[in-house]
Amino acid sequence: MRRRTANAPVPTAEDNASWTSVFTDRLKSVDPLLFFTTEIRVTWRRANTNAPASRHAAPCLARREIEKAAELCDVLRPSAAEQDITVTVQEQLPLVADGVVVTDVQVRVSVDDTTRTAALHSERLRQEYQRQEERILRDHELDELARRQVRAREAFLREEILANPAAARLYGLLEGTSKHWSRLGGPPTGTNLNDLVREIQQWQPGQQWVTVAQLLHDFVAGLTEEGRKELLTLLADTVRAFGDEHTAHSFALLSGEAR
């Protein structure tokens, strides 16, 4: 007895059917305020011939991937953007979701004149801003360099030239013979080094009047406001007794008792 075998289903045209959706869109670029104009062609088919699928599903699926790629592209380079977007999306094919299979995507990218002009203007503004930042940074660096040079000069004067009268005299002799004197950081030409040494040494830590000034500072810090005014009045009377009316008047002004 011969067995009856079931015939295999014959593929129909519906099983292999594919559709092409064509639409235009505006896509954000790397600058979210500037947009590409695009024409997109999506080839797709149903994932399951027995299940319905929306004709909008495939375009939406492709558009989501195209948008992600476009956000990395520059509107001033539309040809490069078209290449990058196409390659990025093609590498992910086929796209399968929502009952459809996207088998091919073609993208044409263009940029209108208004967008290009705006992009060039934005680029110029960014370049000018960057140059301004660089100028400010350079000015700050120059200011810091100038401050370091001043500190180094001050230390050189204090520790080398003005350390003692002998050193000051030696540098005074060098001043007239060395063309690099200004680079050494010495005082201005014509400075009386002996007077300068005496003045500096007078204010060195541990000198009598420096100690007196420190004691007075600490003493005044502990007085009340009225006590400070009274001390200024006493100082004014004391200085006046030594015949210095000008300084006495200055103290009186500070105490508020000038006459």
The pLDDT assigned to 10 comes to: 43
pLDDT higher than 90, residue 184: no
The pLDDT assigned to 160 comes to: 73
The pLDDT assigned to 213 comes to: 76
Q: Which amino acid is at 239?
A: V
In a domain, 228, yes or no: yes
Residues 142 and 152 in one domain: yes
End position of a domain, from candidates 111, 146, 173? 111
Q: Compute the chain's Rg from CA coordinates.
A: 44
> 3-state DSSP call for residue 144?
helix
**pLDDT tens, position by position, 19-46:** 999 999 999 999 999 999 999 999 999 9
pLDDT higher than 80, residue 189: no
**pLDDT tens, position by position, 87-99:** 999 999 999 999 9
Residues 181 and 225 in one domain: no
- Compute φ and ψ for 38, nearest 5 degrees: -130, 150
Q: Are 44 and 100 in contact (CB under 8 A)?
A: yes
Residues 181 and 129 in one domain: yes
In a domain, 191, yes or no: yes
Q: In the predicted model, what is the mean pLDDT of residues 51-63?
A: 91
Residues 117 and 153 in one domain: yes
Residues 92 and 172 in one domain: no
| Rounded CA separation 54/44 (Å) | 11
DSSP classification of residue 158: I
Give just the sign of the alpha carbon dihedral 243, 247, 251, 254. Answer: positive
In a domain, 157, yes or no: yes
Residue with tokens 């200011």: 143
pLDDT higher than 70, residue 172: no
- Structural domain that includes position 134: 112-202
| Rounded CA separation 153/254 (Å) | 36
Residues 225 and 247 in one domain: yes
In a domain, 13, yes or no: no
Question: How high is the mean pLDDT of the chain?
Answer: 82
The pLDDT assigned to 251 comes to: 83
In a domain, 250, yes or no: yes
Distance, CA of 88 to chain centre? 33
Residues 86 and 55 in one domain: yes
Residues 242 and 214 in one domain: yes
Give just the sign of the alpha carbon dihedral 108, 59, 119, 132. Answer: negative
Q: Are 178 and 184 in contact (CB under 8 A)?
A: yes
In a domain, 141, yes or no: yes
Residues 58 and 103 in one domain: yes
End position of a domain, from candidates 202, 231, 249? 202
Total domains, the chain? 3
**pLDDT tens, position by position, 72-116:** 999 999 999 999 999 999 999 999 999 999 999 999 999 999 999
Q: In the predicted model, what is the mean pLDDT of residues 136-152?
A: 88
In a domain, 51, yes or no: yes
pLDDT higher than 90, residue 66: yes
Return the H-helix or E-strand segment holding 223: none
Residues 125 and 179 in one domain: yes
Residues 179 and 249 in one domain: no
The pLDDT assigned to 2 comes to: 42
In a domain, 36, yes or no: yes
End position of a domain, from candidates 61, 96, 111? 111
**pLDDT tens, position by position, 3-20:** 443 444 444 445 568 999
Q: In the predicted model, what is the mean pLDDT of residues 38-56?
A: 90
User: Exposure pattern of 4-28 as b/e (b: 16+ CB <10 Å)?
Assistant: eeeeeeeeeeeeeeeeebeeebebe
pTM value is 0.51
Q: Which residues contact 24 (CB under 8 A, 6 or more apart)?
A: 37, 38, 39, 40
**110, β-bridge pairs:** 37
Residues 197 and 211 in one domain: no
